[in-house]
C-alpha cells in the first residue's frame, strides 16, 4: 500500500515589538489555504511545502494538506489563530498517516506561547509517539529544545534572501524518506551561542556567516552528516530563547556518526562565537545616507529602508526615509509600496489623471519605541490603479501569487509613490512592474527591506544604499527594551561566555 503523509505549513516570524496583531485572517487570502486549493496554489512554488508535495508525488505516496498558512511578519499571533491552525494539523494526524512533513518558520510567538513551533511538534508527538516528522525552518528560526526533542529531521534555509525554501523542504523530506526505507537512523543535535546577530550582518551570502554556512553545506554534501544547518536567529523578539544556533542531523547507524556530528556542530558554533563582533551592525545617520546617494550619478540606486520592513514585522507606513529624499530633492524616484488603505481609497475615488493633495502613511503608532505615526502630505497626479496582484518571477518564492490589495500610484513630479492596501516586502520587481513602472529605468528606487530585496533588485542595481529609517525593525538594538531575553547575551553583556 502507498504510504500516507500529512503535509502542512504554518509560517510566521513574530516581531514582539510590532503593534500589528496577527489573527487567522492574516494567514492567507481570507485565511489559510486548505486541501486541494493549497495543493494547486503551492505545489510548484519555491516554498518548503512545495518541496514536500513534490517529494510525496515522486515517492508515489498519498498525502493530504490540511493547512497552508503563511502570514507577513507582525506582532503576536492570537490564541484563536494558533489553536485553529494547530487543530487542523492535529486532526489530520489523528486520522492516521505514516509521516508528517511540516514547513514552519521557527520564530512564531503567540499570545499564550513563546515557542509556537515547539508546542505544535510536542502536540503531534504526544498524539503519535513513534511518527516520523520532518521539519523545514527559516534561517531566522529561534531554536528550542522542544523543537529538537519532537522532530525526527530538521533543516533550515541556507540563504538570505531565502531562495532555497523549496530545497530546504526537499532536504528534510529526503532524509525522512530514507529513514522510512530503513536506510538511516536520524538523530537531531543542536546547540546555541549567546549572540544577538544583526539581520543586516548575518546573511550567508557574505562573511562573517558565509564560510560557516559553507562548511555546513560541504559536510552535508560529503555525507559526513545527513543534514547540517546554521540559524542566524531573529533579533526583534523579546523571548527567553534568542541566539545563534546550529542543527546537525546524524545517522546513528553510521559508526562514529554521532561523534562526528557533535564535533561539526561545536566547530560551527565556536567559529561563530569567535566572530561575534562581526555580527553586529553599524550604520550611518539617515541624512548622510541620502546625501551620499545624491552624489551617485548612475542608476538605479537602490535605497533600502531597513527600519520599516514588512518581512520583519514593520508597519510599512513610516515615511521618514521618503521625507529625507524629498528634503534633499532627489529626482527620478520610485518609492514604495507604502501601506495606507485610506490613501488608496482617496486616489481611487479621485480616479486616474486626477490631481490630489493627500496624507500618506503614518497611520500606525509604535508604542514599543514611543513613536507616533506621522503622515506625509503629498501633492501629485494619480497615474495608475491596480488590484495589486502579480506572480513572482524572481528567484525568491518563484511562482507565488502576491496580493498587496488595491494599489495606486501618485506622481509628485520627482517621485512616483506606490501605495497599497496591504503589506508586502518588495523582493520582486513585480511590486512596481505590475502597475506600469519599470524600476530598471529609474535613477532611485526606494524600498522597505533588509536583505530579501537582493533577490530581485540587486541584479539591476548600480549602487545600494542602506537607510536607517524609523520603525519597529530598526537595526539599532539599543532602541528596543528587552525584558525577557536570556542573559548573558552578546552584545548586551560584553563578557558573555559561550554556552
**Residues 359 and 377 occupy one common structural domain:** yes
**Domain that residue 313 falls in:** 286-475
The tens-digit pLDDT sequence of the chain (499 residues) is: 789 999 999 999 999 999 999 999 999 988 999 999 999 999 999 999 999 999 999 999 999 999 999 999 999 999 999 999 999 999 999 999 999 999 999 999 999 999 999 999 999 999 999 999 999 999 999 999 999 999 999 999 999 999 999 999 999 999 999 999 999 999 999 999 999 999 999 999 999 999 999 999 999 999 999 999 999 999 999 999 999 999 999 999 999 999 999 999 999 999 999 999 999 998 899 999 999 999 998 999 999 999 999 999 999 999 999 999 999 999 999 999 999 999 999 999 999 999 999 999 999 999 999 999 999 999 999 999 999 999 999 999 999 999 999 999 999 999 999 999 999 999 999 999 999 999 999 999 999 999 999 999 999 999 999 999 999 999 999 999 999 999 999 999 988 777 6
**Residues 118 and 146 occupy one common structural domain:** yes
Q: Specify if 492 maps to a domain.
A: no
**Residues 206 and 317 occupy one common structural domain:** no
pLDDT of res. 499: 64
**Residues 245 and 371 occupy one common structural domain:** no
Looking at the whole model, is its pTM more than 0.85?
yes
For residues 48 and 102, the answer to whether their CB atoms sit within 8 Å is no
pLDDT of res. 1: 75
Residue keyed to cell 536583505? 451
**Residues 197 and 107 occupy one common structural domain:** yes
Give the separation between CA 297 and CA 492, rounded to whole angstroms: 40
Q: Specify if 352 maps to a domain.
A: yes
Angle at 48 between CA 396 and CA 129, to 5 degrees: 160
The CATH number of the domain where 121 resides is what? Answer: 3.40.50.2300
Give the separation between CA 54 and CA 39, rounded to whole angstroms: 10
**Residues 160 and 216 occupy one common structural domain:** yes
Domain boundary among 279, 307, 322: 279
Q: Specify if 495 maps to a domain.
A: no
What are the grid coordinates assigned to 238, written together?
523579546
Q: Specify if 467 maps to a domain.
A: yes
As a dihedral over the C-alpha atoms of residue 61, residue 66, residue 68, residue 69, rounded to 10 degrees, the angle is: -150
Domain boundary among 255, 279, 303: 279
Q: How many CA atoms lie within 13 A of 272 on its CB side?
A: 37
**Residues 211 and 344 occupy one common structural domain:** no
**Residues 234 and 127 occupy one common structural domain:** yes
**Residues 382 and 434 occupy one common structural domain:** yes
The β-bridge relationship of strands 333-339 and 444-448 is parallel
**Residues 297 and 225 occupy one common structural domain:** no
**Residues 30 and 151 occupy one common structural domain:** yes
Give the separation between CA 388 and CA 123, rounded to whole angstroms: 38
Q: Specify if 494 maps to a domain.
A: no
Number of domains present in the structure of the chain = 2
Q: Specify if 496 maps to a domain.
A: no
Exposure class string for 26-36: b at 16+ Cβ within 10 A, else e? bbbeebbbbee
Q: Specify if 480 maps to a domain.
A: no
Q: Specify if 498 maps to a domain.
A: no
**Residues 110 and 180 occupy one common structural domain:** yes
Give the separation between CA 428 and CA 417, rounded to whole angstroms: 17
For residues 113 and 146, the answer to whether their CB atoms sit within 8 Å is no
Amino acid at each position: 500500500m502507498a504510504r500516507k503523509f500529512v503535509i502542512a505549513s504554518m509560517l510566521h516570524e513574530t516581531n514582539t515589538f510590532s503593534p500589528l496583531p496577527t489573527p487567522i485572517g492574516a494567514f492567507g487570502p481570507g485565511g489559510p489555504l486548505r486541501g486541494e486549493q493549497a495543493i494547486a496554489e503551492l505545489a510548484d512554488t519555491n516554498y518548503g511545502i512545495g518541496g514536500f508535495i513534490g517529494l510525496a508525488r515522486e515517492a508515489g505516496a498519498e498525502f493530504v494538506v490540511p493547512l497552508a498558512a503563511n502570514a507577513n511578519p507582525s506582532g503576536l499571533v492570537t490564541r484563536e489563530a494558533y489553536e485553529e491552525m494547530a487543530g487542523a494539523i492535529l486532526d489530520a494526524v489523528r486520522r492516521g498517516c505514516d509521516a508528517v512533513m511540516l514547513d514552519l518558520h521557527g520564530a512564531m510567538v503567540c499570545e499564550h506561547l513563546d515557542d509556537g513551533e515547539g508546542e505544535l511538534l510536542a502536540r503531534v508527538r504526544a498524539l503519535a509517539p513513534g511518527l516520523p516528522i520532518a521539519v523545514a525552518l527559516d534561517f531566522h528560526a529561534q531554536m528550542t529544545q522542544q523543537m529538537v526533542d519532537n522532530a525526527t529531521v530538521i533543516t533550515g534555509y541556507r540563504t538570505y534572501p531565502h531562495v532555497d525554501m523549496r530545497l530546504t523542504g526537499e532536504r528534510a523530506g529526503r532524509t525522512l524518506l530514507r529513514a522510512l526505507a530503513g536506510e538511516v537512523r536520524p538523530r537531531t543535535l543542536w546547540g546555541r551561542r549567546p549572540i544577538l546577530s544583526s539581520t543586516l550582518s548575518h546573511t550567508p551570502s557574505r562573511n562573517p556567516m558565509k564560510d560557516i554556512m559553507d562548511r555546513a553545506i560541504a559536510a552535508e554534501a560529503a555525507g559526513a552528516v545527513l543534514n547540517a544547518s546554521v540559524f542566524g536567529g531573529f533579533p526583534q523578539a523579546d523571548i527567553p530563547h534568542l541566539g545563534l544556533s546550529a542543527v546537525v542531523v546524524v545517522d546513528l547507524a553510521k559508526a562514529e556518526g554521532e561523534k562526528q556530528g557533535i564535533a561539526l556542530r561545536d566547530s560551527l558554533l565556536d567559529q561563530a562565537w569567535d566572530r561575534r563582533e562581526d555580527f553586529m551592525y553599524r550604520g550611518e545617520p539617515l541624512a548622510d545616507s541620502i546625501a551620499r546617494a545624491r552624489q551617485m550619478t548612475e542608476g538605479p540606486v537602490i535605497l533600502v529602508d531597513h527600519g520599516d520592513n514588512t518581512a520583519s514585522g514593520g508597519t510599512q507606513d513610516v515615511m521618514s526615509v521618503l521625507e529625507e529624499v524629498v528634503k534633499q530633492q532627489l529626482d527620478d524616484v520610485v518609492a514604495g509600496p507604502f501601506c495606507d488603505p485610506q490613501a488608496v481609497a482617496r486616489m481611487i475615488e479621485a480616479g486616474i489623471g486626477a490631481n490630489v493633495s493627500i496624507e500618506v502613511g503614518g497611520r500606525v503608532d509604535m508604542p514599543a519605541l514611543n513613536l507616533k505615526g506621522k503622515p506625509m502630505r503629498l501633492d501629485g497626479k494619480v497615474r495608475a490603479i491596480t488590484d495589486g496582484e502579480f506572480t513572482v518571477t524572481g528567484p525568491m518564492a518563484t511562482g507565488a501569487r502576491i496580493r498587496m490589495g488595491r494599489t495606486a500610484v501618485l506622481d509628485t513630479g520627482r517621485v512616483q509613490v506606490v501605495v497599497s492596501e496591504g503589506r508586502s516586502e518588495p523582493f520582486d520587481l513585480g511590486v512596481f512592474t505590475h502597475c506600469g513602472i519599470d524600476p530598471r529605468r529609474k535613477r532611485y528606487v526606494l524600498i522597505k527591506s533588509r536583505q530579501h530585496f537582493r533577490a530581485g533588485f540587486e541584479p539591476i542595481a548600480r549602487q545600494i544604499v542602506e537607510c536607517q529609517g524609523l520603525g519597529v525593525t530598526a537595526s539599532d538594538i539599543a532602541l528596543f527594551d528587552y525584558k525577557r531575553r536570556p542573559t548573558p547575551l552578546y552584545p548586551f553583556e560584553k563578557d558573555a561566555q559561550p554556552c
